A and B are shown apart, each in its own frame.
Chain A
Amino acid sequence: MMSQKIKIMIVIAALVAVALVVPQSGSFVVLLVTRALAFAILAMSVDLLLGYTGMSSMGQAAYFGVGAYLTAVLATKFHIGMGWDFWLVVVMGILIGAALAALFGLFAIRAGGVYFLMITLALGQCVWGLAYRWNSLTGGDNGINMTGRPSFGLDLSNDVTFFYLVFAFFSLSMLALYVLVRSPFGKSLAGIRERELRMQILGYNTWLHKYIAFIIAGGFGGLAGVLWAHTNGHVSPETVVLTTSVDALLMVVLGGAGTLVGAAIGAAIVFGLREFLSTLVPWWQYALGAVYVMTILYLPMGLMGIPKRWRQRNQGKGGETKTLASKPS
């Protein structure tokens, strides 16, 4: 068993490697990694729910979407957020994501398992519907174009500078979520995931714990949305659509639920296959499909489960692997 310290060192080394290597590569790679990092924040927020609390949310794109739309609307209609007030927009994005999650949580947390999934899906689609139909605010199907990225001493229109900013947000989010899941609160979430009834008997208000986790995840979703809007310079209902939520969920399952790092790896792989491989070969969808199927069939714990499986095989213990993803809450 690797000690926690070594694991942390590995993650830090990987992050440093990304920060050093990516800016040296082609500008398109910089852009792609920036996109993947912004989306990885969303994926990690899903992991907080799926991997640590045992709630599979199918509506995470809603918080992502409101963050993105908030950024775009403020920038184009009110000229807010293109200078120093970018930081204000970041805070507002987190708050609006959290606020929406606080509202939706009231409806969604009442249910568990597949019902929770259906309710979050429906609520997510409500936001999509609004984005699609509220033409005067969202531009409907055409979406909103933003002109340029913020500039406040740092000129974010430079892709490399912007990459560093998103990278910083990504690293901080990962750190914050790591601290959170290691805290007593995080442990109580894991307890709920494993056996909610027992936690209730122990005297925990499990509803409140889940509700808070849901709100925190919403906040990170909003943050990811703000960054996403500036990555593309364009926000459309496509940002909020169901597949965005599904993508985030798949990334978590692919990388390994309940690991945080897994969500980031999942994001890297999906973006790598979908947006990079697709520039090289026409059959990229088969590759992506094969990766999903193989992961579900052979790596129920995701790619992050590989070391454990490897050890088990070497020790000949046979696979009593636990599937976090399919565990009922």
Chain B
Amino acid sequence: MTNKVRNILLGGVLALGLAVPAGAEELRIGFIAPTTGLYAQIGKDMVDGFQLYLDEHGGKLGGADIKLIVEDDQGKPDTGVTKAKKLILQDKVNLFIGGLLASSGYALAPVSTAEKTVYLSSVSSADDLTQRQLEKYPYFLRTSWTSSLPHHPLGQWACDNGFKKVVTIAADYAFGYEVVGGFQKAFEDCGGKVVQKIWPPLGTKDFGPFIPTMKADADAIFTVMVGPMALQFPKQLRGSGVKKPIIGSGVSYDEFVLPFMGDEVIGDVSALHYGAGIDTPENAKFVKAYRTKYGKMPGYYSENNYSTAMWIDEAIKQAGGKWPGPEQFIKLMQGIKINAPRGPVSMDENRNPIENVYIKKVEKTKMFGYEKEELWNKVIKVYPNVSQFWTYGKEKFLAQPVYDRDFPPCKFCE
């Protein structure tokens, strides 16, 4: 009986596994996103963004027919690796994109090296992949951002706008460290002081133990809230009577969560390389198309994948409508400058985008001809063409270690 069960199972596995994909002239693209689990909604937003561009272009990129294969990594790096292998070995994809969490990015990049397959990181923002570890991953290219990229300008902005002392409160994991690190570095280099760093665990819902410990003499609070945390923190902070201004990472106020927030977030400032409130014709067109199709506001998860599709479109066009091979493809991608909804984007020599960073303020207003008053991330300042090295220069920046819980050290904490 044992072997019967096993054989049936194995038979099923084999029958399906041996179904060899048809080798047509089409371009096969694998897409890895968490479509189940805690991050399922974000995963869907990622796929939707890419799909929107495909649908707008008749399912073709650069003249080639696209076969998009979406795989669910369940938000787990291990599963992501398995799914990437499945896409490469079984579906024979030309390239794969996606990966949400920084940890997914770190896990997927080595797969691209081992299997000599292009991996475009369209969301995952782990700094070091395009910094100190770059040479390990020749088939890796990022179309999104590094965690610290938008937060260097934000540090500068906070300093320029008269903030002197800031308390940071950020989700306790690598992404939070890199975001805070970027902000703190630029802010303190300009003369500001980070006087306290608080690290609630990832997924914290009750900030009761953390809010009272925040130093009273700070001018502002810098937040990095991920997923459901983003919704809870401002509500609880204002509820407990703290009226200090919030300047935050863009993920704390991404359109993924913004429509569900209350009026208490009006006036909060955040920075990111995208926001649905960017007032340009390109973005207006994108926001309207996205809302019409999916009935919601696009956040950066969607935009980054939309513009990734745009990027591939251009690269394949330049290659004459055919897959040019992984090395050539990476080379082509590096030379392309696109005009995405997020603004003009080009590629630096470390295969990371150079893009605009938007300092945004939440306002209740009408935009793009929509009737209703809604919360929008209105752009209050643009830092154009920001690179991951900010103003420090590549050599000098890479000489310092990757941002961490204790780097930069908190010199002004008591």
Interface residues of chain A, those whose CB is within 8 Å of chain B, are 7, 10-11, 13-14, 17-18, 21-22, 25-29, 31-33, 35, 132-133, 135, 139-143, 145-148, 157, 232-234, 236, 238-239, 261, 265, 268-269, 272, 275-276, 278-280, 282, 285, 303-304, 306-307
Contact = CB atoms under 8 A, between A and B. Distances in A.
B232 to A, nearest CB: 20
Interface in B4-56: 5-7, 9-10, 12-14, 16-18, 20, 35-36
A279 B10 contact: no
A139 B113 CA distance: 20
Interface string B78-91: 11011101100110
Contacts of B136: 147
B3 interface: yes
The 5 closest A-B pairs by CB, nearest first: A141-B173, A27-B89, A29-B17, A28-B90, A14-B3
Interface residues of B, number: 51
Contacts of B85: 27-28, 31
Interface in B77-108: 77-79, 81-83, 85-86, 89-90, 101-103, 106-107
Given A233-B81, A275-B79, A280-B16, 19 more contacts: A14-B7, A17-B7, A25-B18, A26-B17, A28-B17, A31-B82, A32-B82, A32-B86, A135-B174, A140-B173, A143-B77, A145-B106, A147-B110, A233-B111, A234-B81, A236-B103, A279-B71, A303-B5, A306-B5
B90 A276 contact: no
Contact of B14 (A13, A21, A133, A238): A21
Contacts of B6: 14, 17-18, 265, 268
Contact of B109 (A25, A27, A31, A145): A145
B86 A279 contact: yes
Contact of B102 (A141, A234, A307): A141
Contacts of B10: 17-18, 21-22
B76 interface: yes
Nearest to A264: B6
Nearest to A16: B3
B364 interface: no
Nearest to B76: A238
B5 A265 contact: yes
Contacts of B76: 238
Contacts of B82: 31-32, 35, 232, 275
A33 B3 CA distance: 16
B103 A145 contact: no
B114 interface: yes
B349 to A, nearest CB: 23
Contacts of A303: 5
13 contacts: A29-B14, A29-B17, A135-B405, A141-B173, A142-B106, A145-B107, A147-B110, A147-B113, A157-B114, A232-B81, A234-B81, A236-B107, A275-B79
Given A236-B107, A282-B35, A265 B2 contact: yes
Given A29-B14, A141-B174, A233 B114 contact: yes
B170 interface: no
A145 B110 contact: yes
A22 B83 CA distance: 18
B72 interface: yes
B278 interface: no
A26 B89 contact: yes
Contacts of B172: 133
A256 to B, nearest CB: 10
A236 B3 contact: no
Residue in A236, A239, A306 whose Cβ sees the most chain B Cβ within 10 Å: A236
Interface of B: 1-3, 5-7, 9-10, 12-14, 16-18, 20, 35-36, 71-72, 74, 76-79, 81-83, 85-86, 89-90, 101-103, 106-107, 109-111, 113-114, 126, 136, 172-175, 177, 202, 404-405
Contacts of A139: 106, 174
A146 B136 CA distance: 11
A142 B78 contact: no
Contacts of B36: 278, 282, 285
A142 B9 contact: no
Contacts of A307: 1
Contacts of A278: 36, 71-72, 74
A234 B110 contact: yes
A17 B2 CA distance: 12
Contacts of B110: 145-147, 233-234
A77 to B, nearest CB: 15
B9 A268 contact: yes
Q: Which of A11, A22, A234, A280 has the most CB of B within 10 A?
A: A234
Contacts of B79: 275
Contact of B3 (A13, A232, A234, A279): A13
A129 to B, nearest CB: 10
Q: Which of A232, A282, A304 has the most CB of B within 10 A?
A: A232
Contacts of A32: 13, 82, 86
B17 A234 contact: no
Nearest to B107: A234
A27 B5 CA distance: 23
A143 B3 contact: no
Contacts of B109: 145
Contacts of A13: 3
B9 A234 contact: no
B78 A239 contact: yes
Contacts of B83: 275, 279
A10 B72 contact: no
A306 B90 contact: no
Contacts of A239: 78
B308 to A, nearest CB: 22
A141 B172 CA distance: 9
B9 A272 contact: yes
A10 B2 contact: yes
